[in-house]
Amino acid sequence: MSYAKALRCRKCGQEYPLEPRNMCDVCLGRIDVTYDYEAMKKTVSKDNLCAQPVSMWRYRDLLPVDSKEVDIGTGYTPLTKADNLGKELGLKNLYVKNDCLNPTYSFKDRAVSVAVTKALEFGFDTVACASTGNLAASVAAHAAKANLKSYVFIPSNLGSGKMVGAAIHKPNLVTVNGSYDDVNRLCINLSQKYNWGFININLRPYYAEGSKTLGHEIGEQLGWQAPDCVIAPAGSGLMFTRIWKGLNELAILGLIDPVKTRMYVSQAAGSSPIVNAYNNDSKHINPVTPDTIAKSIAIGNPSDGEYAVKIAKESGGGAWAVSDKEALTGIKLLAQTEGIFAEATGGVVIAVLKKLVAAGKIKPDDLTVAVITGAGPRTQDIMADVVHATLVEPTVESFDSAFDK
Amino acid sequence: MAKRQVMFTFPQKLIKEPIIYDLGIKYSIITNVRRADVSENKGWVMLELEGEENNIDKGLEWVESTGVRVDPVLGNIVEA
């Protein structure tokens, strides 16, 4: 049995059993899984964690699952010492957490692996999500592995061409003749009508917990310590808050010292409701209409934005936004210094990191982790301008001439 | 009868308008406020609506037409 105890509302503290649920009935607040950390402490140690599989499931004791996991090989992605990028930016202890290297090329596999495992535990025969890319691919892949039926909903104006990564796993791909808001509304209505596991609705408390393993891995891979700074992207803000939770759980379990990490939110200027709230010193997130190439974080009404702001403030970090142009430069910088091709969201992270260093917020010696959450190839059309091939004749002379040899 | 949880964000010029009351009366919707924060400059209200599905849809269209922003309480469901 897991150490998960209950679901609890973050706002009013109302508790619920560990069931499919999306919000608090009393105050409509967000709900989280709570754990018996005292009991967990008795079995979790560095030695027994290190003996576990090299995947996110080495932290299974810290996750709310009771059954065999649905795993397609997610997690324990590289934490790469980024000396070239560090030199470029003026940082001596920079690491890149490369979550591009998950099975469907983004961090979503962590969250979905837990959510689909719970879907089976709850007896659902169908899982569903509304997604325009990374989440859809991950849900479809995990549903295939778990022999579950799946539905993926997308707005029709997106076009289905970008959905190959999901479609290859043969979900029921549904294009909805309407806007994002219409898709939102339809999914909420369907989640009330059908007994399905909706990944980011009634399975969301469990989905959220999968992202904690990013924090767990960072702490372990740094030799059981928390970094001085984490720079991570925020769309809904959920993953950002879970990196913090993951690090703090390691401290609660006595595996690392108390966490003093400064947490920095990075968003695209065209969709930055969390950064706006941070800058306005507001607890409330005013929704915006997104306009950015960083589609993975183009969320105008972020469900966990308020908590992302809280963590950025309480940790002594911050919240920064960069333009799409800066994000594109960030993608190139990461690719051309560290060999990592990230999606636009990764470019946002690198561009924010650059700004933080320039502003003196991050010092050269700070142990810094930049979290790269998704790979570039799925959206490579935004980088088409990098292709400048040199045409040569099939002769050595022609090659030498072209390259001044 | 259907239920829907929504958030209204009021611009300054509409803060004094009885929009939630009007929504209830005009569209036969039970409006149940759960959380709110209203100041002189801006206000938001999270509430649960209960009524006929069609009336809720039409009522929310009317609320948006007044200039109040309407969002689902859950935040965006559509993710990348």
> How is residue A297 written in tokens?
């974080």
* Average pLDDT over chain A, rounded to an integer: 94
Whole-number pLDDT of residue A96: 98
Q: What is the mean pLDDT of residues B21-38?
A: 94
Q: Could you read off the pLDDT of A262-294 as tens digits, one per residue?
A: 999 999 999 999 999 999 998 888 889 889 999
Provide the whole-model pTM: 0.93
Closest Cβ opposite residue B71 in set A22, A297, A301? A301
Q: What is the mean pLDDT of residues A350-366?
A: 98
Q: Could you read off the pLDDT of A212-247 as tens digits, one per residue?
A: 999 999 999 999 999 999 999 999 999 999 999 999
- Chain B contact probe: residue of A303, A309, A345 with most B CBs at under 10 A: A303
Residue B41's domain is classified under what CATH number? 3.30.70.260
Residue A241 to residue A215: CA distance in whole angstroms: 10
Contacts of A135 in chain B (CB under 8 A): 79-80
Inter-chain CB proximity B76 and A303 less than 8 Å: yes
Contacts of A270 in chain B (CB under 8 A): none
Residues with Cβ within 8 Å of residue A145, at least 6 apart in sequence = A70, A71, A72, A116
A287 phi and psi, to 5 degrees? -60, 150
Contact B80/A at CB under 8 A: yes
> How is residue A163 written in tokens?
């959905």
Contact B41/A at CB under 8 A: no
| Positive or negative torsion for Cα A16, A22, A24, A30 | positive
Going from the C-alpha of A19 to that of each of A7, A206, A273, the distances in angstroms are 8, 10, 31
ipTM score of the complex?
Answer: 0.83
| Sequence ranges of chain A with CATH classification 3.40.50.1100 | 79-105+211-386, 108-206
What domain range includes position B47?
Answer: 2-72
Q: Could you read off the pLDDT of A16-69 as tens digits, one per residue?
A: 999 999 899 998 999 999 999 999 999 999 999 999 999 999 999 999 999 999
Residue B55: enclosing H or E segment and its boundaries? helix B53-65
Q: Could you read off the pLDDT of A160-172 as tens digits, one per residue?
A: 556 888 999 999 9
Look at the domain A108-206 and name its fold.
Answer: Rossmann fold (3.40.50)
Inter-chain Cβ pairs, chain A and chain B, closer than 8 A: 84
Inter-chain CB proximity B75 and A27 less than 8 Å: no
Contact predicate A90/A114, CB 8 Å: no
Dihedral angle of Cα A40, A43, A49, A54, to the nearest 10 degrees: -80
Closest Cβ opposite residue B80 in set A135, A153, A185? A135
Q: Could you read off the pLDDT of A108-144 as tens digits, one per residue?
A: 999 999 999 999 999 999 999 998 789 999 999 999 9
Whole-number pLDDT of residue A380: 86
CATH 3.40.50.1100 assigned to A79-105+211-386: yes
pLDDT > 90 in chain B, percent:
60
In the 8-state DSSP scheme, what is residue A163?
Answer: G
pLDDT > 70 in chain A, percent:
99
Nearest residue in chain A measured CA to CA from B71 = A301
Residue of A316 and A192 predicted with greater confidence: A316
| Positive or negative torsion for Cα A187, A188, A194, A200 | positive
Whole-number pLDDT of residue A262: 98
Whether the pLDDT of residue B79 is over 90: the answer is no
Domain count, chain B: 1
Contact B1/A at CB under 8 A: no
